[in-house]
Amino acid sequence: MKMKIFKPVSYVIILAIGLAMTFTSCEKTPEAMDLPPKESLSIDLNIFPSKTDKKAASEIELNWFYSAAQVFVWNGVLALNMVIPLAAYAEAFNHVPVYQEDNTWEWSYSVTSGVETYEASLIGERLNNKEFSMKMYVSKSGVNPFEDVLWFSGVVRYDLTAASWKMNMDPYNTRPFMDIDYHKDFEAGTADIKYTSTDPQSNVYGGFIEYGIDPALVDYDAHYTIQRSDTDLTEIKWNTTTAAGRVRDEVHYLDSDWHCWDTLLADVACTEDESNSF
């Protein structure tokens, strides 16, 4: 009986196949991106000083009251359309994403808001070495159902120092609602987020509200900048510890000066430095 002798080329082929199988079996699923913080989507407008625990010695609180009223307008605009998408996004942190191939991951889950239950599908996709995209699809069955509606999308840096989002109105009307731009310096502790209205039917269309925090600023470490038009701008600054603050609005006050309130929210004269500073 003759022994069958393999030609050298056969060994090469067998070796190549074996190596290919080995490398294939050793391939690991790519690691998913970290979810950007919830604060990259939402301003907590309730951090502005309120009357809840303040009792001014004077009834004159016009400067604080005017500032609070401007924040309140935007609070209503945002709360009306963002409750469900924000609840859907917050729930994603309680779930593990599943790799979908092609550098995409999916967080899939249900979330309840009020009496309604929604099915959410959050898709993350690697774009390059610095950025990834996220898309939130939401569905609802039962009364007034909808399926796989893209509620918002965004581009996020992998180091989570910046995110840019586009929010649609709602599942029944997917016209643009709001653009959101977020930045954070983790070392310095600074952060800012800006909402710009993109809804032509909104009374704040084209306007924006920007919130920022900078712990290094001693007098006023937080600010709001609110713009309603090119010539209608409100600047608000306050101290998150003492609640004292100031406001500047040339249209409302008919001057370019700062107008201040104290730790009890009562109107006070600004110091010379405050009046002349930016």
Residue 251 lies in a domain: yes
Asked whether residue 130 is domain-assigned, the answer is: yes
Find all residues with CB under 8 Å of 47, minimum gap 6, and list them. 222, 240
In a domain, 136, yes or no: yes
The CA distance from 190 to 161, in Å, is 10
Reported as half-sphere exposure (CB side, CA atoms, 13 A), residue 228 has a value of 14
pLDDT in the model for residue 203: 85
Q: What tens-digit pLDDT sequence spans the chain (278 residues)? A: 444 444 554 544 544 444 444 444 456 788 999 999 999 998 877 789 987 655 554 567 899 999 999 999 888 888 878 889 999 999 999 999 999 989 999 999 999 988 889 999 999 999 999 999 999 999 999 889 999 999 999 999 999 999 999 999 999 999 999 999 999 999 999 999 999 999 999 888 999 999 999 999 999 999 999 998 777 899 999 999 999 999 999 999 999 999 999 999 999 999 866 655 65
Is 205 domain-assigned? yes
Q: Read off the pLDDT of residues 118-149 as tens digits, 9 standing for 90 and up.
A: 999 999 999 999 999 999 999 999 889 999 99
Instruction: Examine residue 11 and state whether it is found in any structural domain, yes or no.
Output: no
Helix (H, G, I), strand (E, B) or coil at 277: coil
Look at residue 1 and tell me if it is in a domain.
no
Residue 21: inside a domain: no
Task: Tokens for 273, please give them.
Answer: 């430095």
CB 134 within 8 A of CB 126: no
Q: In 3-state terms, what secondary structure has residue 166? A: strand
**Burial letters for 210-225: b for 16+ Cβ neighbours within 10 Å, e otherwise?**
bbbbeeeeeebbbbbb
> Cα separations (Å) of 227 from 23, 30, 133, 207, 274?
57, 43, 29, 5, 22
> Chain-wide mean pLDDT for the chain?
87
Asked if residue 14 is part of any domain, the answer here is no
- Please count the structural domains in the chain: 1
Helix, strand, or coil (residue 165): strand
Comparing C-alpha atoms, which of 212, 143, 219 is closest to residue 184?
212
What domain range includes position 111? 53-276
Provide the CA 211 distance to its chain's centre, in angstroms. Answer: 11
